[in-house]
Amino acid sequence: MNITVGSSNPAKLKAVTEVFPESYVTSKRVQSHVAAQPFSDDETRQGAINRAIACAEGSNNFGIGLEGGVMYIGDQLYLCNWGALVTPEETVYTASGARIILPKELATELTEGKELGYLMDAYANKEDVSKKEGAIGVFTNYLMTRQAMFSHVVTLLRGQWEFHKA
Ligand SMILES: O=P(O)(O)OP(=O)(O)OP(=O)(O)OC[C@H]1O[C@@H](n2cnc3c(O)ncnc32)[C@H](O)[C@@H]1O
Ligand SMILES: [Mg+2]
């Protein structure tokens, strides 16, 4: 199976190759058509769907879109992540990832319009956190990573597709 992923972020690409080891996986730069920093479950999910559709369009490939965002529950801001898989027949499957709460100081800066990727590098005093362990890695003492979290999401996508095609 040929899969096009709508990102060149290694944490996302490695998650897809991990879950589809038999497939040929390539990446494509596509528009998410949502904000660079999505601010709700709905917007984050839509970003994943838009990326996946753009990847599958005009090819015989499966498209996968993975999108990170944040969302409020009450006055608390959580990290959220969504994935979408679009088949060559244009069937869309979606799944979300685990959520963890973000520290208040990050929430304030996010609402001022800064991107989480940028904020995490400053917070952890590291480079490219979003391409490596991710916020989920930093705030779980590295017991979880962004790649492992996305692997779980992609597994949920693959499983749903397998169930429906069987
Ligand atoms: O190149 P793309 O695929 O866009 O990858 P990205 O790292 O920008 O990731 P997203 O667009 O999916 O995420 C939206 C924003 O949230 C940030 N983000 C989301 N989850 C994160 C995480 O676990 N750790 C660090 N930054 C994260 C990310 O860096 C962006 O600023
Ligand atoms: Mg991005």
166 CA distance to ligand 1 centroid (A)? 34
For 23-42, the three-class secondary structure string (H helix, E strand, C coil) is CEEEECCCCCCCCCCCCCHH
- Strand 2-5 vs strand 62-73: parallel, antiparallel, or unpaired? parallel
Q: What is the chain's mean pLDDT, rounded? A: 96
Q: How far separated are the first and last CA of the chain, in Å rounded?
A: 16
Question: Is the complex ipTM higher than 0.90?
Answer: yes
Amino acid 106: pLDDT: 93
Ligand 1 touching residue 61 (CB < 6 A): no
Residue carrying the six token digits 């996968």: 64
What pLDDT digit, counting tens, does each position of 64-107 carry? 999 999 999 999 999 999 999 999 999 999 999 999 999 999 99
In terms of Cβ atoms closer than 10 Å to its own Cβ (0-12, 13-18, 19+), residue 116 is: buried
CATH 3.40.50.450 is right for the domain spanning 2-165: no
* Mean pLDDT on 158-162: 98
User: Does residue 55 carry a pLDDT above 90?
Assistant: yes
In this prediction, residue 144 has a pLDDT band, given cuts at 50, 70 and 90, of: very high
User: Does residue 58 carry a pLDDT above 90?
Assistant: no
Which protein residue has the closest C-alpha to ligand 1 atom 7? 130
* Mean pLDDT on 159-164: 98
What ligand has the least distance to the C-alpha of 16? 1
Q: Closest Cα partner for 34 from 90, 77, 84?
A: 84
**DSSP labels, 148-164:** HHHHHHHHHHHHHHHHH
Q: Which secondary structure element, helix H or strand E, spans residue 52, and what is its range?
A: helix 41-56
